[in-house]
Structures are given as C-alpha cells and as structure tokens.
C-alpha cells in the first residue's frame, strides 16, 4: 500500500471492495495549528510523521510540502495505514507509507534512500478510533477482548500480561506506568480472580479493578480503571522504552535547521521528551533540574535548540471541541 513506499503496507482489500475504507470522521488531530507553526512545512520539504495514525496531521503537512516535497508516514497499526491511504490519496505521488515502529526511522529512511529530513512529528499514545473500536481492547468504557496491541501481529497482548505476569510484576507496571496508588491491591485482586478464571475481556478487568479500589477512592479522579489500562497499554506496546530509544535516533536524521515536534499525553512521556531535548541541547527546560536523569545513548554530533522551554498545550476552545486533547503537551526543538 505504501504509495511510493517500500514497506509491507500495501492497500488491503476486503472481498468485494477495491479501496481502503474512509478514515473515521470522529478522528481529529490534536493541536494542528501549533504542529504546523513549529514544524514549518514548506514546498519541497521532507517530513516524517512517525505516528501516522489516521492521517489527520499528515494531510495538513503534505498539503504544504507539495509540490516537490515528500511525506513519510510510519505506523505500527495496519488498520490505521489502510485508512490513511484514502485520506492522503490526493497526494499519493508525494507520500510513502511504511508499517513499522518510529524507532526504526533511520532504517526506513535508508531503505527509501532519504539522507536527511526537514521535520519529524511524533503524536504519541492511542488514537480516538483505536479507543472507540471495542475489539481493540484499549478502552475501559467498551466491552471487548483484552488486547491493546497497536500492531495486531505482535505476540504479547494485555491478556497475556494480566494472566501470566507475577503479582509483583503486575504491581510494578501498574505503579510505574499508571502511577496508581492502589497498584499492589489491584495486582492482588487480579491474581486472585485469574486463579478462578482467565481474565480475557475489558469488562472482567474493569470489574476486578473496581473491586480492588476502596469505594471512597473510586469517587475521585475519574474512572477507577483508567490508570491500570494506561499501564497495560504502555507495557504491551513498550511505549516508553521505544520513545526513549527513538528520540536520539530520530534527531540524528534531521538536516541542519530541521525540526522535531512531539505531542505527549501523560507525565511519563513528557518527562522523557523533556530529558531527551535537554540532553541534546545542553539547555534546561522549565521543570527539569540541570544534570538530573542523564539521557544515555546520545548520537554523536547532534545538537538541538529548544523551541519550547515550557510545553505548549491546547486552547480552551480546542479542548471544548475535542476533549481528548485536554492532556496533550507539545514540545519542539531544532537541529543546529
């Protein structure tokens, strides 16, 4: 499907269909104006959207890099790529679509014979359509299989984690990745329930988490299963490890003057972005102590200039129109 790409993402056709399904109308890109302001796409530029999703940001970008530019869209989710084909059809000659992980960006660009890029966008986390599709298992609000794999071809699902990790391992990931104060208690309840029956659905897990958290605590801070589901999704898809590995590698693909823009949705992601940008810029962004949490495996000779000392957040109007944007934080840097 890769338009002029070389990755294994050819357009999938279902019986009786000759084209990919249209992208879900409910998907809205977060902070599109701010992304464009910091990324500064222009005709002839080469931009990588490392988390292509359903193509919302990508369409805005490629409409500005045309004519003569190129957009490389990368995503682990084959279904998202299939939708992006229809969204980007107008620019098919200037788009390469690749199924893969954004941590593989240098290898993908080498395969496409692209020596350097003018911009990189990473919009982290799970998309609205992924949350809305019950059979993906991402949502604690929808009944479905306990899956949570962004790449359906990978082996480990959320059900594997829930039913096979030790109680101590479960408590650790729920505490670290979900920042859940009741992590130990939730892990104990999970182990107790799975001894009676495997936990294979989102409903079973939500029931178990609710039972573990005291009633007084359940009345505060939103849905009681939110943090546990976040922790499982991060573990299943190695989200934080991938981000930490990918940022220095991605920055090394930028041309001088090239920009990287990252949108994160929770404090763990944002801290990794903040630390990585600080380490590659020798600057200290707001909220980070100089010299704390040193970033390892930095690329030789890559230096960035911070464009955002504080994260940029959505406007009140955007949050009212798109509530899923409320936790978004945007950071940007430029290679010098």
Q: Is residue 223 part of a domain?
A: yes
Q: Say if CB 218 and CB 210 are below 8 A apart.
A: yes
Q: Higher-confidence residue: 293 or 213?
A: 213
Residues 111 and 38 in one domain: yes
In CATH, what number is assigned to the domain containing residue 36?
A: 3.40.50.150
Residues 115 and 194 in one domain: no
Residue 53 belongs to domain spanning:
32-129+239-335
Segments of 32-123 assigned E as strands: 46-49, 70-75, 95-99, 117-123
Q: Using the structure block, give the residue that is written with the tokens 């182990």.
A: 191
Residues 244 and 125 in one domain: yes
Which residue, of 236, 254, 277, is where some domain finishes? 236
What's the average model confidence in pLDDT over 228-249?
Answer: 94
Q: For residue 163, what pLDDT band results from cuts at 50, 70 and 90?
A: very high
User: With pLDDT > 70 as the criterion, what percentage of the chain qualifies?
Assistant: 86
Question: Does residue 75 surpass a pLDDT of 70?
Answer: yes
> DSSP characters for 133-171?
-GGG---TTS--BS---SSTTSS--HHHHHHHS-HHHHH
Tell me the CA distances in angstroms from 43 to 49, 61, 251, 290, one per residue in order: 16, 10, 21, 38
Question: Does residue 72 surpass a pLDDT of 80?
Answer: yes
If one counts the domains in the chain, the total is 2
Q: Is residue 147 part of a domain?
A: yes
In CATH, what number is assigned to the domain containing residue 167?
A: 1.10.150.170
What pLDDT is recorded for position 21? 41
What pLDDT is recorded for position 2? 54
Q: What does the pLDDT look like over 133-162, one tens digit per residue?
A: 777 878 888 889 999 998 888 889 999 999
Residues 118 and 47 in one domain: yes
Question: Does residue 3 surpass a pLDDT of 70?
Answer: no
Q: What is the pTM of this model?
A: 0.86
Burial class of residue 176 in the structure, from the number of CB atoms within 10 Å of its CB (0-12 exposed, 13-18 middle, 19+ buried): middle
Residues 47 and 64 in one domain: yes
Q: Which residues pair with 262 in a beta bridge?
A: 122, 331
What pLDDT is recorded for position 289? 62
Q: Which pairing describes strands 329-335 and 117-123: parallel, antiparallel, or unpaired?
A: unpaired
Q: Is residue 24 part of a domain?
A: no
Q: Is residue 5 part of a domain?
A: no
């Amino acid at each position: 499907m890769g338009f002029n790409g070389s990755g294994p993402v050819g357009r999938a056709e279902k019986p009786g269909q000759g084209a990919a399904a249209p992208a879900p109308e409910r998907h809205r890109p977060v902070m599109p104006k701010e992304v464009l302001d910091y990324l500064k796409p222009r005709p002839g530029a080469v931009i990588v959207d490392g988390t292509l999703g359903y193509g919302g940001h990508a369409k805005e970008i490629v409409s500005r890099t045309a004519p003569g530019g190129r957009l490389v869209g990368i995503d682990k989710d084959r279904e998202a790529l299939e939708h992006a084909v229809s969204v980007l059809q107008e620019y098919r000659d200037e788009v390469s679509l690749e199924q893969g992980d954004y941590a593989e960006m240098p290898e993908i660009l080498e395969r496409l014979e692209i020596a350097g890029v003018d911009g990189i966008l990473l919009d982290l986390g799970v998309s609205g359509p992924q949350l809305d599709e019950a059979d993906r298992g991402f949502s604690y609000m929808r009944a479905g299989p306990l899956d949570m794999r962004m790449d359906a071809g990978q082996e480990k699902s959320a059900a594997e984690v829930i039913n096979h990790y030790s109680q101590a391992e479960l408590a650790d990931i729920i505490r670290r990745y979900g920042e859940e104060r009741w992590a130990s208690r939730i892990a104990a309840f999970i182990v107790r329930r799975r001894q009676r029956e495997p936990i294979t659905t989102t409903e079973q897990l939500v029931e178990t988490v609710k039972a573990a958290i005291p009633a007084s605590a359940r009345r505060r801070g939103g849905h009681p299963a939110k943090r546990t589901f976040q922790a499982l999704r991060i573990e299943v898809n190695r989200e934080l490890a991938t981000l930490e590995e990918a940022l220095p590698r991605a920055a090394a693909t930028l041309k001088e003057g090239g920009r990287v823009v990252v949108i994160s949705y929770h404090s763990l992601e944002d801290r990794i972005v903040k630390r990585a940008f600080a380490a590659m810029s020798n600057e200290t962004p707001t909220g980070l102590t100089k010299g704390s949490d040193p970033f390892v495996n930095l690329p030789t000779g890559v230096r960035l200039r911070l464009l955002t000392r504080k994260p940029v957040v959505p406007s009140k109007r955007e949050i009212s129109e798109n509530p899923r944007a409320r936790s978004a934080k945007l950071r940007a840097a430029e290679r010098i």
